[in-house]
Amino acid sequence: MTKLIATSVVRGSHQGESHGGVYLVDFDNEKTVQVVDWNTADIDWQGRGWDRGLRGIAFDGDRVFIAASNELFEYTPDFKQVASYKCPALMHCHEIFVYKRRLYLTSTGFDAILAFDLDNNQFCFGLQIKELSNGGGYGGGTFNPNLAKAVSQSNELHFNNVYCDAKGLYLSGLKTRGLLRFDGRRVEKIMSLPKGMHNARPYRNGVIFNDTASDVVRYVIEDDEHLCFKVPQYAPEKLLNTEMDDTRIARAGFGRGLCDVGNGVIAAGSSPSTIALHNVDTRKTFAQVNLTMDIRNAIHGLEVWPF
């Protein structure tokens, strides 16, 4: 079965309008249901995405976690909100990831990765990363994310993805130009990738990511072999709100959101909110679903729905 959960951000929306939501997408039965409509007014409405919409998605048993810009929400599988969590160091969060008993979050506004203790329900760790001068690599410093002004705001690397396995914590963003890994002692770049990417993470013997600037999803293998899948495109006359289609607000074909479905299949998101299924083994895109033709509405988080 291929059932996914997706979040969206409506870039350039105004107060009083919905600026994001949560959707369950059942590819097998060709059914899509919006389960959360996000329209809070308590956000920053300046340009582009900013505080709008809902972001990363992760699970811990029967707990469903969904990130907003500066808050982590906990839901039941039927989308009853049971708790929310904040800390001073969470700002412009993008993706999140659960590994063992911690949930990791990108804090883009601080060039940092935060950890949330799933047993004690509290933020417990922060890692801020800076690019060293003169091409000297990267340096990382740990901090207490619960202390105000423990670190200063920074958005030089624009982290938008985090992934974790036994080898370490993998980080990437718009300006990292590669996939970074923190092994508990140091931060190093393990593969060079294009600027402007989203969702880079290890996959099989390589890396998958949204090459957003090139409107493709790529699978890059260690021996430099790679394959790519084109982001779905639509005839201009079918698009809505095209008067806002510019680099500051929104554009069609903006690729973001990516997950491993299994059996060689990956799912990728784009705008206007579309999810496509790509088969790495057959090298073919074999299914896609569109949620709206509003180009402001872009997929953000994307995961396999486990319930």
Q: What is the CATH number of the domain that holds 103?
A: 2.120.10.30
Lowest mean pLDDT among 5-19, 30-44, 150-164, 214-228: 5-19
Strand 284-290, strand 274-279: pairing: antiparallel
Predicted local distance difference test score (pLDDT) of residue 224: 66
Highest mean pLDDT among 9-13, 178-182, 222-226: 178-182
In 3D space, the residue among 180, 208, 207 whose CA is nearest the CA of residue 302 turns out to be 208
Stretch 144-159: mean pLDDT: 95
Checking if the pLDDT of 206 tops 90, the result is: yes
Cα angle, residue 259 at apex, residues 218 and 193 outer, rounded to 5°:
30
Q: Are 39 and 68 in contact (CB under 8 A)?
A: no
Checking if the pLDDT of 145 tops 50, the result is: yes
Checking if the pLDDT of 43 tops 50, the result is: no
Checking if the pLDDT of 263 tops 70, the result is: yes
Rounded CA-CA distance 220/200 in Å is 10
Predicted local distance difference test score (pLDDT) of residue 248: 52
The CB-side HSE value for 210 (13 A sphere, CA atoms) comes to 31
Predicted local distance difference test score (pLDDT) of residue 44: 43
Predicted local distance difference test score (pLDDT) of residue 2: 86
Nearest 10 degrees: Cα torsion 42, 43, 44, 48: -140
Predicted local distance difference test score (pLDDT) of residue 68: 93
Rounded CA-CA distance 298/292 in Å is 9
Stretch 216-245: mean pLDDT: 86
Give the residue, 208 or 248, on which the prediction is more confident.
Answer: 208
In 3D space, the residue among 272, 236, 237, 298 whose CA is nearest the CA of residue 20 turns out to be 298
Mean pLDDT (the chain) is: 90
Rounded CA-CA distance 305/145 in Å is 30
Rounded CA-CA distance 270/253 in Å is 6
Q: Is 114 exposed, middle or buried (0-12, 13-18, 19+ CB in 10 A)?
A: buried
Stretch 224-239: mean pLDDT: 91
State the greatest distance between any 2 C-alpha atoms of the chain, in Å, as a whole number.
54
Predicted local distance difference test score (pLDDT) of residue 41: 41
Indicate the residue type of 190: I
Q: What contacts 24+ positions apart, CB below 8 Å, involve 209-214?
A: 209/172, 209/179, 209/258, 210/255, 210/256, 210/257, 210/258, 210/268, 211/255, 212/254, 212/255, 212/256
pLDDT band at 128 (very low <50, low <70, confident <90, very high): very high
Indicate the residue type of 185: R
In 3D space, the residue among 280, 274, 275 whose CA is nearest the CA of residue 295 turns out to be 274
Checking if the pLDDT of 37 tops 70, the result is: yes
pLDDT band at 61 (very low <50, low <70, confident <90, very high): very high
- Return the percentage of the chain with pLDDT > 70, whole number: 89
pLDDT band at 192 (very low <50, low <70, confident <90, very high): very high
Rounded CA-CA distance 278/164 in Å is 23
Matching residue, tokens 């402001």: 296
Predicted local distance difference test score (pLDDT) of residue 223: 63
pTM of this structure: 0.92
Indicate the residue type of 290: N
Checking if the pLDDT of 18 tops 60, the result is: no
Whole-Å CA distances, 31 to 3, 25, 28, 267, 298: 9, 6, 8, 16, 19
pLDDT band at 250 (very low <50, low <70, confident <90, very high): low
> What range defines the domain where residue 90 resides?
3-304
H/E element holding 199?
A: strand 198-203
Cα angle, residue 95 at apex, residues 93 and 96 outer, rounded to 5°:
100
Per-residue tokens: 241: 């709100």
The predicted-structure confidence for 106-121, as pLDDT tens digits, reads as follows 999 999 999 999 999 9
Checking if the pLDDT of 296 tops 60, the result is: yes
Rounded CA-CA distance 57/301 in Å is 6
Predicted local distance difference test score (pLDDT) of residue 52: 56
The count of domains in the chain is 1
Phi and psi torsions of 238, nearest 5°: -90, -15
